[in-house]
Structure 1
Amino acid sequence: MLRRLLVHWVLLAAVLALVALFADSVEVTGGVVGLLTAAAVLGLVNALVGPVLRLLSAPITLVTLGLFSLVINGLLLMVTAWFTDSLTVGGPLRTILAALVISVLNTLLSKLVLD
């Protein structure tokens, strides 16, 4: 179980590095330590704040056929950037797009590595 958590953490850090490399709206400073810190904070924000936001926004997510979940993911990425000094994100639309890319890449890499 601990091994799986560590693999998820490292994968999320790698995904953040890829997104920061290709997206000019996302910047991670502090090298490997900054990446691991941002990944840890993002994981905690997703685990602790994410379910509450998703529950509260369930009606609007249902009305928008799930598209509002992209906004929730963007908000979670903004909260992560607010909590840590090693992650900087751009405007709201770019942050939502970056969160979408992070979600897709993280899911794909997790399926490839852990399954």
Structure 2
Amino acid sequence: MHLLIRFIVNAIVLWLVISLVPGFHNNAGQSGFGAYSIGTIVILAIIFGLVNMLIGPILRLLSAPITWLTHGLFQVVINWILLGLAVWIAPNVKGGWLPTLIGAIVLMIVGTLIAMASNPERTSTV
């Protein structure tokens, strides 16, 4: 159940990111809220989930020293690579390096907020 909720939230956030961040467009060159079908968003969310599940742990393991040295800030670069790969694989979604960077930052912020809301004792300061 937790996985389904996380998938739905990621799909909604991905839809908002590719609809609001300038630079994302479909194959016809359209952008904005009406440019993407629900099927396109679901496919992008599935691809992003698979890329995150299969390639993400390898990248995180290989970049652990850099992530440690930057106090976790290098995670933005990893998320940027994963989102860029998902957008590159997904049909009918196109975006450059700057929109994917902004999208990765937004996804990271939303993921942090969801983690804080779903597990409050993990984020306590006491």
Gaps of 5+ in 2: 27-34, 120-126
Aligned residue pair count? 111
Calculate percent identity across the aligned residue pairs.
Answer: 37
Corresponding residue SS for 2:94: strand
Instruction: Tell me the distance in 2 between the aligned counterparts of 1:20 and 1:10.
Output: 15
Shift of the alpha carbon at 1:51?
0.6
String of CA shifts for 1:71-113, please: whole Å, max 9, x gaps. Answer: 110000011112211332222x43222111022224435765x
TM-score normalised by L of structure 1: 0.80
**Relative to structure 1, is the Cα distance of residues 4 and 86 closer, same or farther in structure 2, using a 3 angstrom cutoff?**
farther
Larger strand proportion of the pair: 1
Q: Is the 8 A contact 2:51 2:85 kept in 1?
A: yes
Distance (Å, rounded) in 2 between the aligned partners of 1:101 and 1:34: 20
Whether 1:100 and 2:105 are equivalent positions in the alignment is: yes
Higher relative contact order (CA 8 A, sep 6+): 1
In the aligned structure 1, how far is the partner of 2:63 from the partner of 2:86? 19
Counterpart position of 1:9: 7
5+ unaligned residues in a row in structure 1: which ranges?
A: none
Specify which structure has the higher proportion of helix. Answer: 1
CA contact (8 A) 1:8 1:110 kept: no
Give, in whole Å, the separation in 2 of the partners of 1:103 and 1:27. Answer: 21
Superposition CA RMSD, Å: 2.2
Q: What is the aligned partner in structure 1 of residue 79 from structure 2? A: 73
User: For the pair shown, which has the larger CA radius of gyration, 1 or 2?
Assistant: 2
- Report the AA paired with residue 23 of structure 1: V
Is residue 22–residue 99 contact of structure 2 (8 Å, CA) maintained in 1?
A: no
SS of 1:87's partner is coil
- Distance in 2, matches of 1:24 and 1:33, equals 21
Query: What is the CA–CA distance in structure 1 between the aligned matches of 2:57 and 2:11, rounded to whole Å?
Result: 21
CA distance in 2, matches of 1:10, 1:27: 22
More displaced stretch, 96-105 vs 40-49: 96-105
TM-score of the two chains, using structure 2 as the length reference: 0.74
